[in-house]
């Protein structure tokens, strides 16, 4: 897996104060994407032990609510396995920290993937410039959903996170 950045003390990409891992690789290539530099799966840096330590050092801090995976797309073919392994390890080591994941894929396409067992919130759907709304919380366009993953799995239907302010 490759990544572009590890953001510390982030309040824009999920609930609370978070660490964000921006992975490399995205095949959605949304028009007017805010981060097209992350599309190339061969871009950025190799996610090595030092990068992993940096993420875990942040998660060790009591005031950090959790981690958000973004990019790029954490579920891109170049990332899915390694991100799943990392998410599993984080959930085991930090069970009280929340894990958010942004993907251009839809919940209906990913709900059977192993990774969803460990994710708390999934923001799904491609960014659509025609539906862009800067008033939305934690998503860029109104077609995207902020999904409570564990409740959705329990209920067998999509359950939106309480902060998903607008549903299309």
Is 161 within a domain?
A: no
- The pTM of the full predicted model, rounded to 2 decimals, is 0.93
Is 85 within a domain?
A: yes
Give the pLDDT score at 142: 92
Domain enclosing residue 115, as ranges: 2-155
Task: Return d(Cα 117, Cα 122) in angstroms, integer.
Answer: 11
Domain count across the chain: 1
Say if residues 147 and 121 touch (Cβ distance below 8 Å). yes
Ramachandran sector of residue 7 (left: φ over 0; alpha: ψ -120 to 50; beta: rest): beta
Give the pLDDT score at 82: 98
Is 96 within a domain?
A: yes
For residues 75 and 27, which has the higher predicted lDDT (pLDDT)? 75
Q: pLDDT > 90: what percent of the chain?
A: 83
Give the pLDDT score at 87: 98
pLDDT at 166 over 50: no
CA atoms within 13 A on the CB side of 17: 9
Give the pLDDT score at 167: 45
For residues 168 and 138, which has the higher predicted lDDT (pLDDT)? 138
Give the pLDDT score at 32: 85
Which of 22, 46, 3 shows the shortest CA–CA distance to 100? Answer: 22
Tokens of 119: 């994710």
Give the pLDDT score at 164: 63
Is 165 within a domain?
A: no
Is 38 within a domain?
A: yes
């Amino acid at each position: 897996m490759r990544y572009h950045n590890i953001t510390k003390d982030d309040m824009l990409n999920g609930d609370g104060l978070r660490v964000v891992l921006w992975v490399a690789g995205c095949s959605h290539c949304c028009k007017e994407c805010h981060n097209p530099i992350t599309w190339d799966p061969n871009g950025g840096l190799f996610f090595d032990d030092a990068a992993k330590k940096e993420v875990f050092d942040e998660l060790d801090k009591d005031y950090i609510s959790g981690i958000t995976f973004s990019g790029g797309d954490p579920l891109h073919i170049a990332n899915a396995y390694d991100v799943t392994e990392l998410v599993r390890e984080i959930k085991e080591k930090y069970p009280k920290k929340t894990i958010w994941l942004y993907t251009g894929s839809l919940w209906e396409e990913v709900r059977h993937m192993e990774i969803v067992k460990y994710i708390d919130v999934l923001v799904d759907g491609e960014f659509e410039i025609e539906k862009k709304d800067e008033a939305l919380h934690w998503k860029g366009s109104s077609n995207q959903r902020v999904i409570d993953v564990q409740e959705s799995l329990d209920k067998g239907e999509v359950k939106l996170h309480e902060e998903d302010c607008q549903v299309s």
